[in-house]
Amino acid sequence: MDENESLAERFEENRPRLRAVAYRMLGSLSEAEDAVQEAWLRADSSSEGVENLSGWLTTVVSRVCLDMLRSRQARREDPLDVHVPDPIVDRPDRVDPEHEALLTDSVGLALLVVLDTLAPAERLAFVLHDMFGVPFEEIAPIVDRAPAATRQLASRARRRVQGRAVPDPDLNRQRKVVDAFLAAARGGDFEGLLATLDPDIVLRADYGPGSLTPSKTVLGARAVVQNALSFAQYAQFARPALVNGAMGVVNAPEGRTMAVLGFTVRDDRIVEINILADLERLADLDVAALDA
């Protein structure tokens, strides 16, 4: 085996970890793949003599992701725009083996939404240290900070993340609540819908920048129920699924994915709903596993 073949094999061994890092950093499956590919190009040309290839590749993909986050932040005209990260969709009874590395550490949509609110350097410090155990001394050069300052970046991010909605770990209990929500939506039962929702529920609906339907954030159970017509449309074609490891729904009339809904269920109430209805992004989403 020549040196190039050996490097390619070692890179493939690291690919699942690199994809997991990039997905947590970017919240985009396609951008995560781009970042990993860029890491391969750099490894192919610059990794000669590197002793710890895994650590070196993690640093490379992190730098690529940091640049992408900063570029994204500079392009974003309104920092308050509603954005739902790319969901990972699986059958309701099992997770695709290829998705398992991406979904460790309970990387639900609710967590990714919070990560999207962080400054790029905060996000990198938190993801690398808290999720992948990278020491602050190794993260500091990536964000051009001293280790102590890098620790503070992660600490600030951690405080934000700790306030996120954490789902009930029992998928069966989640499923019962989501099924009750869908049944009430199909029947136009407003009171039934209200009974499934936490009073302080947060709903985000991302229709994409080119849609005639504006993206929105809706706060509170009664305000969410007032959007029941859209739920009825989703419920009619609802297919149960796991969305980032939690119960969710894929709306796919005639086989075309129109929306993916991720639910966060806690104490038998829905505390958060994240809806991706951006048709351009949904067209690239892999939901083939639902038909397997």
Residue type, 244: N
User: Picking from 1-15, 21-35, 186-200, which range would have the lowest pLDDT averaged per residue?
Assistant: 1-15
The gap from C-alpha 195 to its chain's centroid, in whole angstroms, comes to: 27
pLDDT at 1: 47
Residue type, 88: I
Q: How far apart are CA 36 and CA 64, in angstroms?
A: 9
- 0.75 surpassed by pTM: yes
Q: Is 9 exposed, middle or buried (0-12, 13-18, 19+ CB in 10 A)?
A: exposed
* pLDDT at residue 3 greater than cutoff 60: no
User: Picking from 72-81, 122-131, 196-205, which range would have the lowest pLDDT averaged per residue?
Assistant: 72-81
Q: How far apart are CA 48 and CA 146, in angstroms?
A: 28
Please, how many CA atoms are within 13 Å of residue 4, restricted to the half-sphere of its CB? 3
Return the closest-CA partner of residue 125 out of 103, 102, 157. Answer: 157
8 A C-beta contact, residue 236 and residue 220: no
Which tens digit of pLDDT belongs to each residue from 268-286?
A: 999 999 999 999 999 888 7
Which tens digit of pLDDT belongs to each residue from 24-80?
A: 999 999 999 999 999 888 877 766 666 788 888 999 999 999 999 999 877 765 555
Q: How far apart are CA 276 and CA 88, in angstroms?
A: 11
Please, how many CA atoms are within 13 Å of residue 93, restricted to the half-sphere of its CB? 3
List residues bridging with 90 in a β-sheet.
Answer: 242
pLDDT band of 290, cuts 50, 70, 90: low
pLDDT band of 244, cuts 50, 70, 90: very high
pLDDT at 176: 96
pLDDT at 79: 52
pLDDT band of 243, cuts 50, 70, 90: very high
pLDDT band of 229, cuts 50, 70, 90: low
The percentage of residues in the chain with a pLDDT greater than 90, rounded to a whole number, is 57
> What does the mean pLDDT of the chain come to?
87
Which tens digit of pLDDT belongs to each residue from 77-121?
A: 555 578 999 999 988 887 777 777 677 666 788 899 999 999 999
182 CB contacts (<8 Å, ≥6 apart)?
A: 235, 238, 249
Candidate ranges 75-79, 144-148, 187-191, 226-230; pick with highest mean pLDDT: 144-148
| For range 231-257, the mean pLDDT | 85
pLDDT at 175: 94
* Full 3-state SS string of 218-270: EECHHHHHCCHHHHHHHHHCEEEEEECCEEEEEECHHHCCCEEEEEEEECCEE
pLDDT at 49: 62
Q: How far apart are CA 186 and CA 188, in angstroms?
A: 6
Ranges of beta strands (E only) in the chain are 89-90, 197-206, 216-219, 238-243, 246-251, 259-266, 269-276
Q: In sequence order, what DSSP letters do the residues of 73-101 get, joined into one string?
A: HHH-S-TT---PPPP-EE-TT---HHHHH
* pLDDT at residue 156 greater than cutoff 90: yes
196 CB contacts (<8 Å, ≥6 apart)?
A: 177, 180, 181, 184, 269, 270
The percentage of residues in the chain with a pLDDT greater than 70, rounded to a whole number, is 89
pLDDT at 271: 96
